[in-house]
Structure 1
Amino acid sequence: MDNFQQEVEERTNLTSSNRFELLLFRLGTPPDEEHTELYGINVFKLREIVPMPKLTKAAGMVSPLMGMANIRGEIIPVIDLPAIIGCVPKTGLNIVLVTEYARSTQAFAVESVDDIVRLEWSQVMAAEAGVSSRNITSIARLNNDKKDNPLALVLDVEQILYDIIPANRTAHLNSENKRTFTLKPGSVAIVAEDSKVARSMLEQGLKMMQVPFETHITGLEAWNKINKLAQEARAEGKPVADKIAFVLTDLEMPEMDGFTLTLNIKRDEFLKNIPVIIHSSLSGSANEDHVRKVGADAYVAKFDIDELETAIQQVLAVRAAAVA
């Protein structure tokens, strides 16, 4: 189960071709059902997989928090993932997935781990129209065989952790400081984010900064909108900055990830000067290094609106100086 931690550089390079690795696992069966669904989480969110450790339950701790575990000298909260999704594990909670999310570490208890698969983001569909659960962000098609195409439900980790500890995700939104920017009239920020709770956080923050924006749930949707605005700018004989103030994108998204979206922008002569800010829960030096390699102008870990405000201020100042 430690094999997934190897070849980190190779996995990072997958992002240059709009690909990623998905860990597949099972949580048990929903009430009154016999089959077990296959669930997935991006390998980049995982630090390690370990057998269920001994837990210490603090006073007042209630489900879905199971207790605290000492894993390699670090005290980590363990979360009952089947309880959140509404499944009953037949063989118990046997495995713990230790995850790194937005500079925090937590562990999710699951029934079993199946496999790690390499997929293209084009095999991943946004789940908003087809899955009712608020905790599922997308659906992954595990192969391209129309007759036999197993699916995996990709978890919305942002939503799950927000529901468990909502106060930690909204503290910076209560600031009374007014954040304003001088943008060209008519220009907007293009936002790409597939998580509902993350979109809500970004929308609140941008409204507080008085930044006009348009949101999209996939990188491909955002890319199509960027191209449309670029065509309008060309037809009007204007620079693209008159239409797009900056792009704010997540990394993990159906159809096209944030790495590929950034590469597409920076490789296009007409678009390359658009500031791109990556806003992601995929923290860690490997991801931040790759953000720089694809040409992004800034990287901000979720969810710190103050840091996002600073990043926006900096990239806009750099662009203003470049055209002055």
Structure 2
Amino acid sequence: MAGVLDSVNQRTQLVGQNRLELLLFKLQGRQRFGINVFKVREVLQCPKLTSLPKRNPYIRGVAHIRGQTISVIDLSMATGGKPVEDTSTCFIVISEYNRSVQGFLVSSVERIININWESILPPPKGAGRYSYLTAVTEVDKELVEILDVEKILHEIMPIDAQVSDAVMQANPVEKDYSTKKIYIADDSSVARNQVKRALEGFGIDLQLAINGKDALNKLLAEAEETGEVTDKVALLISDIEMPEMDGYTLTAEIKNNPKLKNLKVILHTSLSGVFNHAMVEKVGADDFIAKFNPDELAGAVQKWLNV
């Protein structure tokens, strides 16, 4: 385990190449799971946990790590499995999602792999454990499941998607967008619906895409009739991490296509702690908003709709 993440800060060159690195781990059993290295701060042997009264049952306790108190979530329980019996033999993956730091209790951590987003596919449809996946891939001829961490966190600590009246009134949209659409691209169903709820007050048709490839195909279809996508679409709000085509690649494809290049793109991502702001300029994105603050998102939408 020692040094498994020593070079994580040197891995940013992968960003924008439609590639990522996954930290592979196991819960209980042989099934492998993956989490994006860019969301991982460190991995360590599980320390002694302090139990809290009236805690969510999925939170096994809190750990005091480097001067910070971190909630530790039993990923096996949170995804419908059995609770970990002996935490002393387990590891904690310390990660940052949606502006918060949390620890994920896992049975073992294996290694880091480098993979292309095109090799990461949407999960099979169905109930049960698959409802907690955003994607799957194959490593060593075995299935690796990539968890929908945003869904897990939302079930434990729900986020209010309501935009405040003060924000809506501060910079009202003056133009008429009644005939246009806003596209929302995100592989997490929870994240898509959070954005949708936050923007419903604008009264604009909101269209959803499940990943970058899906969004690109839909935008090209929108542009087919007139040759200019902005005749029908006012704005795109896109996650960065998505199977088949990530948000950076999607943005670059849009800005390099004569039919799409005038579309305003807001990148909306949970990669707040390690986000490479230079990539926004490199791929031509118009804005970046860290997940998930409905007021900040609404403010950015107001800004670009009023341009």
Matching residue of 2:50: 56
RMSD over aligned Cα atoms: 2.1
Matching residue of 2:4: 3
Query: In the TM superposition, what are the counterparts of 1:225-236 in structure 2 within 5 Å?
Result: 225-234=218-227
Task: Give the number of equivalent residue pairs.
Answer: 299
Structure 2 residue runs of 5 or longer lacking an equivalent are none
Structure 1 residue runs of 5 or longer lacking an equivalent are 30-35, 144-148
Task: Look up the SS of the partner of 1:241 in the other structure.
Answer: helix
Which of 268, 277, 290 is residue 288 of structure 1 equivalent to?
Answer: 277
Matching residue of 2:139: 142
For residue 292 of structure 1, report the CA deviation from its aligned partner.
3.1
Which of 152, 155, 164 is residue 160 of structure 1 equivalent to?
Answer: 152
Q: TM-score if structure 1 supplies the norm length?
A: 0.85
Matching residue of 1:19: 19
Matching residue of 2:232: 243
Matching residue of 1:32: none
Could you tell me how far apart the structure 2 residues matched to 1:26 and 1:90 are? Answer: 15
Matching residue of 2:108: 112
Equivalent residue letter for 2:208: T
Which of 190, 194, 198 is residue 201 of structure 1 equivalent to?
Answer: 194
Task: Look up the SS of the partner of 2:244 in the other structure.
Answer: coil
For the 8 Å contact 1:48–1:98, the answer to whether it is kept is yes
* 1:299 correspondence with 2:292: no
For the 8 Å contact 2:8–2:37, the answer to whether it is kept is no
Identity of aligned residues (%): 38
For the 8 Å contact 2:93–2:103, the answer to whether it is kept is yes
Matching residue of 2:80: 86
Task: Look up the SS of the partner of 1:233 in the other structure.
Answer: coil
For residue 175 of structure 1, report the CA deviation from its aligned partner.
3.7
For the 8 Å contact 2:163–2:295, the answer to whether it is kept is no
Could you tell me how far apart the structure 2 residues matched to 1:205 and 1:62 are? Answer: 26
Task: Look up the SS of the partner of 2:101 in the other structure.
Answer: strand
For residue 62 of structure 1, report the CA deviation from its aligned partner.
4.2
Matching residue of 2:91: 95
For residue 176 of structure 1, report the CA deviation from its aligned partner.
4.7
For the 8 Å contact 2:120–2:135, the answer to whether it is kept is yes
Matching residue of 1:71: 65
For the 8 Å contact 2:178–2:203, the answer to whether it is kept is no
For residue 174 of structure 1, report the CA deviation from its aligned partner.
6.3
Could you tell me how far apart the structure 2 residues matched to 1:119 and 1:183 are? Answer: 43
For residue 305 of structure 1, report the CA deviation from its aligned partner.
1.1
Matching residue of 1:190: 183
For residue 12 of structure 1, report the CA deviation from its aligned partner.
2.2
For the 8 Å contact 1:65–1:80, the answer to whether it is kept is yes
